[in-house]
Structures are given as structure tokens and as C-alpha cells.
A and B are shown apart, each in its own frame.
Chain A
Amino acid sequence: MSHWIIVPVVLPAVLAAVLTLAMRHHIGLQRVFSLAGCVVLLAVALGLLVHAGSGAVEVYELGNWRAPFGIVLVLDRLAAVMVTLTAALALVVLLYAIGSGWDARGRNFHPLWQFQLMGICGAFLTGDAFNLFVFFEVLLIASYGLMIHAGGARRFKAGVQYVIYNLLGSTLFLFALGTLYAVTGTLNMADLAERAAQIPVDDSALLRVGAMLLFLVFAIKAALLPLHFWLPNTYAEAPAPVAALFAVMTKVGAYAILRFYTLVFGPDLDATAVLIDRFLLYGALLSLAVGMIGVLGARRLGRLAAFAAIGSMGTLLVAVAGFTEASSAAALYYAIHSTLAGALLFLVVDLVRERRGALAGALVPGPRLAQHGIVTALWFGAAIATAGMPPLSGFVGKLLILDATRDLADVWVIWAMILATSLVAIVGLSQAGSVVFWKTDREAEAEGPTPALPLVACFSLLGGVVALAVFAGPVMRYIEATAAQLHAPAAYIAAVLGQG
């Protein structure tokens, strides 16, 4: 049993406490330590990724209590991929936050950032349903603080809406867990899987209620229509680096759906089979449509990026709803892509807003921006990635999803929706781009800050999207092995319950 598994949880937790207690008033020191923490986190995550690549499911028993009595952290390929993605994104976006000075516009940015990472990594690693709730709360509490970072009346209001919505979600989560515990008498995910399989189909009404409630909770997190109402205002009003980090937070919801409905309520479980995949598929198709139409109709860049996030979650969840090995693999690839592309879009939007002064994100013609060419190129890259055009990884991801859904009954609806919404997205993004970058007043050039570090961060994200397309082969090999592991939960259960 290696102790490395708990590092992604403990390191940010300790670091956040140190940042708050020892260097409250030293933004310089905070930056150094926060960055160093992110670098170490990424290194550890890469180590775990390589380690999990062997295919073994590694279990870490907290306090040395055996599962199902104690809480366990479980490292399999899926958890390793998601933790690595989180760490990489956090490092790059933190560079942006520091370079653009966002972190100095309010207090306690860096401690909250670290707590947020702790919550996200913990949610990916935990093997216990109640512990998942606790990590959800940790990441939410941190996100409440980050959301209203730097203040402002609109941001506060949007923040209050966000908190209220998520508190309702948390309450629902507890109801779901209580129901599941009442039926099965356990909350360990592997143990839940075993017990759920033993419940006779005729007697499974409560189990189905629990499974459905849990699905609703994860759907709120994943911004599945019609539970997406928290997202547009939150993402549009949040500080840009925070919105970019939130790109991975919706993926927590998608991850939880993928994990629970392959492991606990798998496709083979008669009681809950075909319970959620219909809901998920149609909800996802609707999210896709509404998201991309929102891109087309947005009158501000912030809302445009927020609706693009809903649309990409829709695409991702269409793939998740297949619940086959191929579709889960496609979903994972698209999850990595859409996290990077979504974050890139939010950061580029912020580059534009910072350079346009009072106009901010309004989609009306304005002056030429400082560094006009570079920002335009970045927008172009982000738009191509978001719309899923070649040569970037969005195209590969959509192709994989189209291919994986070929054998489903609804293949024509899915294909038509994905292809049509891609076109809508292209129109929406190019329309916005031509208003902001093309129809400029050539005489006037806006004065704006031109620090280099934010551009470095943006180009790193763009580089990530390019690399994901160039190295799609090796990445897909790892991800296909991940999907295979996910759809053979026996090894996971055996590892956790110690029968293997």
C-alpha cells in the first residue's frame, strides 16, 4: 500500500492552511508556494498515472480500517486520468491568474484555490459514497469563495444563486445517500455494488429511487438540461481563472455518473438497467442544442463561453449515455479535450475583456485591441477547438463519439444533433469573432495591460489541445484500457473488499 494515493488530497489541504496562517499578507510568497504546490501535485499525479497504467486497482485504507468499515481511496486508471487532468489545468490556469493579477484583486485566492483542488482530487479518488459527498462539499465551499473573488454587485448576486442551487443539490445528495443506506446498509461503493446486485428485482423500488436521486445530483453538477440553470450566470460572472478551473468541476459530475452507473448500478443490474440512460441521452441532446443555440444568441462573450460549456457537456454526456466500452472511451477523450478547450475559451474571453475597457464582453464593434493579432489567433484556436473542427482535438473527440454511438438505436438522432449543433457553434463563434476582432475601428487602439504570463498560459492550453490531437493514438490506448477497466468492475470490487 503506497501512501502516494493520498498526496493529491493532503498536499493542497496542508498547503492551503499554511497559505492562510503563515503568509496571509504576502501575495508574493503565496504565489510562489501555490505554484510550487501545483507543480508537485502535477508530478505526483503523473506518477500515479504511470502507476495506474499497469492495470492494478490500488486501494488506500484511511486509518488502516478495512473496507467496507473504513473509508477507502481507490486509484484506478480513471481516477488517475482525472486527477492528472485537474492538476495540469490548475497549474496552467494559476499561471494565468498570477500573470493577469486576478489573484490580487481580492483576498485568500490561493488558499481557496488549493482547497478547491483538494476537493476535486478527493472526489475523483474516493471509493466511498458518503466521502464523495464530503469532497463535493469541500470543492463547493471553496468554489463559493472563489466565485465571489474580487466582489462586485452582479458577481455577489450570481454567487448567491449558485450557492442556493448547490445547497439544494447537496440536500438531494443526502436524501439519496440515506435512501441507499436504508436499502443496502452500506455506503462503500464496491460494497454497494455487491449488495445492490443481491436485491431481488421485485423488491427494488427504493433502490431505484436512490439510484435516480443520485443521478439527479450528478446531473446538477454536470449541468445536464433541465438542471443547468446555475451554470450560465455563474460561469459568466465568475472571475476568468475561476471559470476556467470550473471547467473541470462539471466533469466531476460526469465522472460520478460514469463511475456509479458502471460500478454500482451497472448496465447488467436488472433492477436499475435502462433506468437512466434514456434520461441521460435525451437530457444530453437537449443540453447540446440549448448550449450551442446559446452560443449563437449570446450578446456577451462571458455568456457565450458559458453556453459553450453547456454544449460541450451535452456532447460529453451523449457519449456517457451509451454505457459501452467504446462510448465511455470516447467520453473520456472528449472530457479531456473539453476541459482544456473550455478553459482556453474562458481565458481568451478574459484577455479580450481586459483589453476592451468599458465595452468589456459586449458583442459590439470596438477599438483594436492591444496585441490584436495574438489575441485574435488565440480566439481562432479556441473557437476551432470548441466547435470541434479539424485539426484540433475537438474534431477527433466528436469523431470518436459519432463512431462509438453507431450501434445505438437512436444513432440518427444523435448524429443529426451533434453535426447540426457543430454547425450552429461554428456560426455563433465566427459571428462573435468577426464582431470583436474584425469590425474594429482601425484608427483607435485600446490601451491595455500586456503582461506575457497570461499569453503563456493560453498558449499552453492551446498546445495541450494540439498535443491531444497529435498524440491521439497513445492517449486513446490508455483511455481504451481505462474504459475496459471501468466496464469490468469485478477487479475494482475485489481489490476494495480484499478478495483479490
Chain B
Amino acid sequence: MELLMASAIGVMTAAGLYLVLRLRTFPVILGLALLTYAVNFFLFASGRLVVNAPPVLRDGVERYTDPLPQALVLTAIVISFGMTAVVVMMALGAYLSSRDDDVSLPPEDESPEGGA
């Protein structure tokens, strides 16, 4: 269980980082999505791995799982989902206005508007 969790987080983080370092927006966004999955699992594991235990107080139960990371993960999922939507929209906007999906800025002198 621990090994599965740890390697899942590690592999996703590594793949995510690799994709983020590409210079096109599409793989970068995929990489960001992978990274947020990894961090969600990580947060989940930060309350220790407990299987088949209730998170809220109940009569006659001795063993509990930590409820707080689950709440944190929920917040993190919502925020990262919203952020991914924002970055997709912005990347689309950048693609449509400059006709390429390169992440880097063109040199200032060559750009049509001349920059700032």
C-alpha cells in the first residue's frame, strides 16, 4: 500500500515535471494536471494511510482515519480544477491571438506590437 502510493506520487510528479518543461502549451498543461493529481494524493497520504476506518466520531469504534486531509484535498481539487480551466482558456487565447502555441515570448523587436 505504502509502496504503491509513494511510487504513484513519484511517477506522476516526475512525468508532470517532464511535461511542464516542454515548450508547447498543450504538454505543459497536461503536466500541470499530472502534478496536481500527484499533490492531491500526497495531501491525502499526509494524514497517514488507514484503510476501512471511519473519519467521523462513532460509538464503539476505536480506529479512525484523519478527516482533515480529506477536506484539504477537496479544496485542493476544486482550486486546481478551476486553475486548469483558467490556464486552458488563457493558452487558447494566446494560441488564437499569436497563431502558435509556443510558451516562450518572441523577441521584442520582431513582435508586431513592439511590446512594452
Contact = CB atoms under 8 A, between A and B. Distances in A.
Interface of A: 130, 134, 137, 141, 144, 148, 151-154, 156-161, 163-164, 167-168, 170-171, 174-175, 177-179, 181-182, 187, 233, 236-237, 299-303, 353, 358, 360-362
Contacts of B111: 153-154
A158 B105 contact: yes
B36 A153 contact: no
A154 B115 contact: yes
Given A168-B32, A300-B108, A153 B47 contact: no
B115 A174 contact: no
Contacts of A130: 72, 75
Contact of B42 (A157, A170, A174, A303): A174
Given A157-B98, A160-B103, A179-B46, 7 more contacts: A156-B98, A159-B94, A160-B25, A171-B32, A182-B45, A187-B68, A236-B116
A137 B114 contact: no
Given A164-B103, A181-B68, A156 B93 contact: yes
Contact of B20 (A157, A164, A178, A301): A164
A171 B116 contact: no
Contacts of B43: 174, 177-178, 181
B8 to A, nearest CB: 15
A192 to B, nearest CB: 14
B12 to A, nearest CB: 11
A237 B111 CA distance: 13
Nearest to B17: A168
26 contacts: A130-B75, A151-B93, A152-B113, A153-B97, A153-B112, A156-B94, A157-B94, A160-B91, A163-B83, A163-B86, A163-B90, A164-B87, A168-B32, A168-B35, A171-B39, A175-B39, A175-B42, A177-B43, A178-B42, A178-B43, A178-B69, A179-B46, A181-B72, A300-B116, A302-B115, A362-B114
A157 B105 contact: yes
B104 to A, nearest CB: 8
Contacts of B98: 153-154, 156-157
B25 to A, nearest CB: 6
Contacts of A137: 79, 83
Contacts, number: 127
Count chain A CB atoms within 10 A of each CB in B46, B86, B104 and give the residue with the most. B46
What are the 9 closest A-B residue pairs judged by CB atoms, nearest first?
Answer: A302-B116, A156-B94, A178-B46, A153-B98, A182-B46, A236-B116, A153-B97, A174-B39, A178-B43
B15 interface: no
B14 interface: no
B114 A170 contact: no
Contacts of A168: 20, 32, 35
Interface in B42-95: 42-43, 45-48, 68-69, 72, 75-76, 79-80, 82-83, 86-87, 90-91, 93-94
A178 B46 CA distance: 5
A257 B20 CA distance: 27
A167 B115 contact: no
Contacts of A353: 116
Contacts of B93: 148, 151, 156
A299 B108 CA distance: 10
A329 B35 CA distance: 39
Contacts of A159: 90, 94
Contacts of B115: 154, 236-237, 300, 302, 360-361
Nearest to B71: A130
Contacts of A154: 98, 105-106, 111, 113, 115-116
A137 B86 CA distance: 12
